[in-house]
Amino acid sequence: MRAHFQRFDEHLQSRQLAYSTRVPYLAELRRLATALEEDGQSSDLKTLTMDRITRYFVREGRSSLTQRRALTVLNQFLTWAKHPLAAEVGAMRMPRIHTAAPDYLSEAEEKALRKTLRTRSDVTSQPRDRALFCLLLDTGLRVAEAAALTVGDVELSEKMIRVSTKGGKQRTRFLPVETRDILKLLVARQPAQAPLFRSTTGKGIGTRHIRRLLDFWVALAGISRGIHPHVLRHTFATSLLKKTGNLRLVQLALDHESPKTTAIYAHVADEELRAAIEGRRN
């Protein structure tokens, strides 16, 4: 197996999969190869059997989610390698996943964060950080998508921003008026090729930097719990669903290919419905 990993990675790159996506794929394959070798047998593709694959997954005892991901990665690898077991692996029964409701900011937390971003002009990076986090809250962009933006991606006259999404696709996102006004100050007199969100050295800030910035602003806003940047995407989606009650619109806004991916937000709608029914007579 290991002899094929480099070429499989090149195949994934040709599909324009991000580095952050390819690394877990290869890590999963290396984990399988190591487990097969620890059995005292070769991990060569020629010696791979369904019995060995099945025993591997049974022995690992991982959660249904990680097991499902592992099967998906193995199926893609074997399909690429044109291995005769690819179809059987693809047909293996996937464990059912019980997804938890996504973590998102409460209305009070979002208001506190926005107010702090708006009023703390004593913080040197406030204009950039306010633009960044309001953009995430108002468009639902993934943090990696926001980090990759350039000044030229912002089309204020068209009220939209161009985004490179998963798989290298180009999409546009609508910008609400407040976000446009904030970005207008950020892009003024800047070259189109410059990173939209950059450090004091002029280089674009990465996802880890964004995580540290959010930690800083969350603490300033008096929010006592830790907030991952992806929570802002969940906050956007949750708010949009509450306003519209339309999961299809949320799917389009988040650029989800499958409605099943968007269905996690239905938990939020269910909670709202239960609360409404419970308090109907009060």
**Residues identified as active-site:** 142, 166, 230, 233, 256, 265
SS (H, E, C) 47-87: HCCHHHHHHHHHHHCCCHHHHHHHHHHHHHHHHHCCCCCHH
The torsion angle over the Cα atoms of residues 111, 114, 118 and 119, rounded to 10 degrees, is 50
- Helices then strands (H, E): number in the chain? 14, 3
* Terminal alpha carbon distance of the chain: 64
Q: Name the one residue in this structure whose structure tokens are 């499958």.
A: 258
Q: Name the one residue in this structure whose structure tokens are 């806003």.
A: 221
Bridge partners of 170?
Answer: 164
Question: CB of 138 within 8 A of CB of 127?
Answer: no
Task: Give the tokens for residue 236.
Answer: 């956007």
- Cα–Cα distance measured from residue 196 to residue 75, given in angstroms and rounded to the nearest whole number: 38
